[in-house]
Amino acid sequence: MQIHISKSRMKRRIALNSIFRILFFLATTIGLVFLSLLLIRILNQGLGYLTIDFLRNFPAPYVEEAGMFAGIIGSLFLMLLTAPIAIILGVSTALYLEEYAPKNRFTNFIQVNVQNLAGVPSIVFGLLGLTFFVYLFQMGYTLIAGALTMSLLILPVIVVAAQEAIRSVPKEIKEASIGMGATKWQTIWRIVLPAAVPGILTGSILALSRAIGETAPLLIVGAATAIYTIPDSMLSKYTVMPIQIYSWTSRPQEEWQFVAGAGIIVLLVILLCMNAIAVWIRNKFQNRY
């Protein structure tokens, strides 16, 4: 009798386990389902409008003539300005924290501060940029104001990635370098940084791919929606891909949504390329030691 009861309990427990295994699996696949729905939907809506002219044209009042050229170039210029600022600041901060900083309260404060900055909503960075860059420094709604705002936004991400990369450089090769008579900075410049470059690059590309899709802060610091020239200086007005997509999405006529779909395809393809490069760098230079 007892054996019988425990046997049926056993069966129930095992059955429950199997049911939950399936439930957990289904829950996991919902992300996948959602992603495929999203892609199918966007390809469906946008592919018809994705022509060479769409890539070459400036914004236009008619669906047939609307294009993304200003956005693509604007995003490119924005990234060309953002990347050096954010990477130099980020890697320097990481080097200071990992190699030079004394273990004291101030260092700890910087570290906690970087972590907290990463959690600040992007739109708040937009407000920072609006007050400081647009109004206080009187840059206005220009490319450089947007780039500086974006640099501060992705700074914490780059700092954390660079710190990890620098930390993973083995101690032995640093000590060997010091032992050969190199100074600290020589060691960092010739040994630590080259070894950490793949990690830093991967992190930076991922951070930039976040910046390229970011919309909210740029809406605040005044990226325009209708731009008919490409920026010719750092003080030009500009637009970027996500802002154009946003402006098309928010129009009531349905055909504009197809144009937005085409814009999203372009944006996603660029993002995919950036991510692929990051993954390629990560795999290529992995485990050198």
Partner 1 sequence: MVNNNEQAHSVQEMIKTNKRKNNLLKTSEKSVPIFLLFCATISVLTTIGIVFTLLRESITFFSDVSLADFYLGVNWSPWSGKFGVAPLITGTLLITFIAICVALPLGVASAIFLSEYATNKTRKIIKPILEVLAGVPTVVYGYFALTFITPLLQGLIPDLKIFNALSAGIVVGIMIIPMIASLSEDAMNAVPNHLRAGALALGATRLEVTFKVIIPAALSGIIASVVLALSRAIGETMIVTIAAGASPNLTFDPTQSIQTLTAFIVQGAKGDTTYGSTIYYSIYAVGITLFVFTFIMNMLSQYISRKFREDY
257-276 footprint of partner 1 as x/- string (CB under 8 A) = x--xx--x--xx--x---x-
Burial of 127 from C-beta contacts in 10 A (0-12 / 13-18 / 19+) = middle
Identify which range of 17-25, 57-65, 172-180, 281-289 contacts partner 1 by CB under 8 A.
17-25
Burial of 132 from C-beta contacts in 10 A (0-12 / 13-18 / 19+) = middle
Closer Cβ to partner 1, 67 or 242, answer by number: 242
- Indicate whether 277 belongs to the interface with partner 1 (CB under 8 A): no
- Of residues 25-64, those binding partner 1 (CB under 8 A): 25, 27-28, 30-32, 34-35, 37-38, 41-42, 45
Residue 242: Cβ within 10 Å count:
21
226-255 footprint of partner 1 as x/- string (CB under 8 A) = ----------------x--xx--xx-----
Task: Tell me which of 7, 9, 11, 21 binds partner 1, using CB under 8 A.
Answer: 21
Task: Tell me which of 177, 204, 209, 239 binds partner 1, using CB under 8 A.
Answer: 209
Task: Tell me which of 50, 66, 68, 130 binds partner 1, using CB under 8 A.
Answer: 130
- Indicate whether 20 belongs to the interface with partner 1 (CB under 8 A): yes
